[in-house]
Structure 1
Amino acid sequence: MNNPTPAPRTQHSILCVVGARPNFMKMAPIMAALGELGPDMAVSLVHTGQHYDVAMNHQYFEALGIPQPDINLEVGSGSHAVQTADVMRRFEPALDDKRPSAVLVVGDVNSTLACALVATKKGIPVIHVEAGLRSFDRAMPEEINRILTDQISDLLFTTERSGRENLLREGIDDSRIRFVGNVMIDTLRRNLDRAVPVTQILKDACKDGFLSNNKGYAVLTMHRPSNVDDPATLRTLLETVLKISSRLPVIFPMHPRTRAMIEKFGLGEMLDVPELVQLPPMGYLEMLGLMKDARVVLTDSGGIQEETTALGVPCITLRNNTERPITVDEGTNTIAGQDPASILSAFDEIMLSGGKAGRVPEFWDGQASTRIAAAIHGWLESGLRS
């Protein structure tokens, strides 16, 4: 008696999209987890080129073990409208060529929304990782990207439970939402032992003696237009940082946008003080090394708010709001805005008491990507609807 031939297994394909460096940290563990599902899951990567510094991109891809992109759209810089339109125009033929089972986007950059729009108009399901985060500040371009991407996504993965509440309030069906935790923390945990020590970073920058007083140090990152595009605001923030540097040395890895604005407004000379060291943009492992041993981090970055909470390092956020409230409610983050008095008050408290102890939030356990991969596989197997 002949044995019946088993039915062929269905192969699913996921087209993953990255556009900017914060996307790389989120995508690395997701692609690894999807790859572990075996031959039934084909995974390919599109890099839109929204962040187009070749050396920095290579540094991140290599450090995080991300495979080289199957497709690079090489979009480059431009206004929000130009960049979003260029991504859409270049992504469409790539999508037509691949015809994946679903498109997976992460975060809230222009590439996220642009690729989600193209996919959904072509009837291809969209998966959004890091859904439901809200600052409730629609002056932030990222907030618009977040809201619109969530509205057209078929499967939405949240990093904290408040994300589900935000999505339900906006009319997203609960069956589309999965609480999985934070993939940024997967990447952090997997790379913490590989972080480049601050001593090595300073040595490479010929600043060996910068921390000779053993006070510790602060880290500053700043890049948002609301902080760096207005000369008065930028000057005020830099003057506040200089006051901090007189009490605690400051290490300032400078974003290209920030450096350009400092030069444009003629503010470079004010930073030429011995208590502050300016560094070029850092790779992931270098930035991780700077953060993990800092006494305090001052930032306007959303991702760094999360990473400092996971590391237990006090964070002062130079914004009036955050789309990551769990970093304030449970973590080490304090919202200080752009007001010098508020920033210095938060700094004083950290110097006096060590700052908020905080705790690592639920599902920030290094396994978010595994939960995401399992949920995607089950969703695809069940026909994209359950």
Structure 2
Amino acid sequence: MNTIPPIRLVSQQLLGTGMQTPEDVVSWMGAMQAQDYAMAKWAVGIRFPGSTDKMVEEAFNKGEILRTHVLRPTWHLVAPENIRWMLSLSADKIKASARSRDRDLEITGELYSQVNRIIQKSLEGNNHLTREAVGQALKEAGIAVDTSRMIHFMMRAEVEGMVCSGALQGKSHTYALLDERVPPTKPLHKEEALAKLAQLYFTSHCPATLQDFIWWSGLSQTEAKKGLEAVKSGLVAEEVNGQTYWIADAFKNATSSVDTSVYLLPAFDEYIISYRDRKAVLPSENHSKAVSSNGIFRPVIVANGQVIGLWKKMDTKNEPVLLSFFEPSNVITNNETNRALDAFSAFLER
């Protein structure tokens, strides 16, 4: 498996990145898990030179990158040009996964339609509102609202392509009408969308297996196979430990480069989370240290392509980051560590 990490560092734009803007990164990656917004900004920032937290947040506020529920589903950053066709691939499965809980919450299709009409009217004219403000509008219309219902109401509005992320109000997230953030585009046929998603994934996340793609995309095995079949002529297949890994042709020789850099990867980073089988970069004996039993992916230290420890952002100036290595032998040279720390500090503009 030692050939896999060097290629992934390159394909994931951690090494030798050609990206210049937050939009470049998110467009390249296809979708980036983003329930932890502060960490998601660093996931973007670590992938292009000269990045700062402020730059990524400005791109987010301008709608150059968007945040919505898509794929598995959970919060993801996506590029405006990709959001609609990605939602069209995900919508039916996301709706189906919510049906049982919808019944518990006494939410019907008719109620969703009523709620959507109120949300539409509330957000018209680029009137970006927090979830609480949308909830207040629903209450005033006589609709019973609580935290669970609001999660379902807003996710349904997202997957139906009506709303997406708006500009922050202070530190609070808002919703905006998708049509006011992103001009309508011609919809893709399902086969085209499957091929496009496969192309994005196997280019930006290679080497990866079909099962990895199924996990990341939330597609059925049949759908994922169709997507892969449509694009595999531009991929190279390699057998590793009995599994077939697909590599974009552009990256098949990436293993010739030697990378001794250290990376402080954020929580839920695509380098870790976007694969069903993570053993190539995260040995089984350390998996529970990096990923909690309830699915929390912690910020990790990566050296030579391998996860070797954890890190934590601190609030003190003297020690802005706390490093914790899995093994004493994992401790790396000060120069490599300092470069990683300096990159994170520069991003925060400290």
Both structures adopt the same fold (TM-score exceeding 0.5): no
Higher relative contact order (CA 8 A, sep 6+): 2
TM-score, length-normalised on structure 1?
A: 0.28
